[in-house]
Amino acid sequence: MQNALYSNTLDGPSLTIVDSDDRTGVFGGTLHHQGINYGIVSGRYASLNGYQPPTVVTLIANNQDHGYFALTLFSPSRGTHELQGHCVRVTYDGVVSSLPGDFVRHA
C-alpha cells in the first residue's frame, strides 16, 4: 500500500496513509471528516499470496472528543489506487452512521 492521500468519491471521509510497511501489512495515518482528524490506531492490509488481488484494507480511527470510524475496504485490482467498501462512524453517545467508503488515491 502506498503512502498517499485518498479522497472519497462521494460525501465521506478522506484518508492520509503514512508509514505503510509491505512486510508487515501495517500502516498509520489520519482519517479526515467534517474538519475533524481521527488518528488511525489500527491499520492493516493484505493481498492473496502477498501480490494478487484483491487487496483487503481494515482500519480503526478515533478522536477522543468525537468517536471513531471503522472501515473495511478492498481493491479489485492488484494496486491500491482505488479502494471500495464500507465505512461506519460511531459517536461516544452511541449514534451509529454509515458513510460512503469509496476512495481514490492522489498521485
Q: Which domain holds residue 93?
A: 4-105
Task: Please give the DSSP secondary-structure letter assigned to residue 3.
Answer: -
The enclosing domain of 69 has a CATH number of: 2.40.128.30
The predicted model scores a pTM of 0.87
pLDDT confidence of residue 12:
80
| pLDDT tens digit sequence for 15-45 | 999 999 988 999 999 999 999 999 999 999 9
User: With the C-alpha atoms ordered 34, 40, 41, 46, is the resulting torsion angle positive or negative?
Assistant: positive
Count up the domains in the chain and report the number: 1
For residue 78, what is its C-alpha cell?
Answer: 492488484
